[in-house]
Copies of this chain bind each other. A is one copy, B any other.
Amino acid sequence: MNSMPGKIAVIGAGAIGSFYGAKLAKAGYDVEFLTRSGARKLKNNAVNIKSIWGNFKIKLNAFSDTKFMSKADLIIISTKVLPSIDYKKILTPIVKKDSIILCIQNGMNVEEKLSRIFPKNTILGGLAFTCINRISPVKILHLDYGLIKIAPLLKENFKTASLLTEIFNKTGIQTEAVKNLRKMRWQKLLWNIPFNSLSVVCGGITTDKIVDSKTLTALASDLMKETLEIAKAEGIIIPGKIIQTMITTTQKMNPYKTSMLLDYENKREMEIETIVGEPLRIAKKLKVKTPVLDTIYKMLLFRGNAG
């Protein structure tokens, strides 16, 4: 891809994939969507987007299997990160040797794993700082924020990340290119680890319950400290004052159900491994002690019927 991607594939039409994919489609790009559950509904109906960036309706081009889809210049992966998903099988029909793959997903080592399957492709990581609900496959509610940060897995691909950032910004998606992918992911994990985990293991509680409790705030802080130690062990220094910033920010937020809590309540598979298990495996490899994270991980596995 040198300038504009001719064909875009969006893998996973959840809240994130549907919203950003629809924005690209509205801007005139040729976007195809993979969605297991919503394909039939999307084929017959336009999607209704209510967004703080402006409402619109659009017909999306949805498929239930990538074997019916075109080879893509840009592939946006926006599925949950679950051990059960076979990316090799899903992506092979649509990957070309110069396809760019952008993972807008949670957790750690997402891009690294993909690059082992598609070592010749440019892999980028994305994080969405936003509040979007998918009410149904054809009803998307974009309530707040919306920034996407994009960083390359390999430093030499920063140019591609910047180019994509420009393209996204032109379509009205606020986007920022970032140099250090792992630093970006650790910073996001600093919030995701404590708040996703505690919202589930403390019995299904919204974020306000965590920051309103003195002891759970202390526990969230313990988890963040251990996370900073893991990042530090791989050479990424994030100043400790970020912990208080995260807590203060969360205190100012409206009561919020984390994605892990929503999955737990709806008896769906939770992103335990990408958000907690993977950071723990990095800690183990680097000999960082993480007793609090270990404890919470065990309780999460029990909650997810995986322990």
Contact = CB atoms under 8 A, between A and B. Distances in A.
Interface in A267-307: 291-292, 294-299, 301-303, 307
Contacts of A294: 222, 292
Q: Chain A contact residues: over half helix, strand or loop, or mixed?
A: helix
Contacts of A216: 298-299, 302, 307
Contact of A298 (B219, B291, B302, B303): B219
Contact of A302 (B202, B291, B295, B307): B202
A241 interface: no
Contacts of A292: 291-292, 294-295
Q: How large is the interface on A (under 10, 10 to 19, 20 to 34, 35 or more residues)?
A: 20 to 34
Nearest to A292: B295
A207 to B, nearest CB: 14
B291 A213 contact: no
Nearest to A222: B295
A179 to B, nearest CB: 35
A296 B298 contact: no
17 contacts: A201-B202, A201-B299, A202-B302, A203-B203, A213-B307, A214-B307, A216-B307, A218-B298, A219-B295, A219-B298, A219-B299, A291-B292, A291-B295, A292-B292, A292-B294, A295-B295, A295-B296
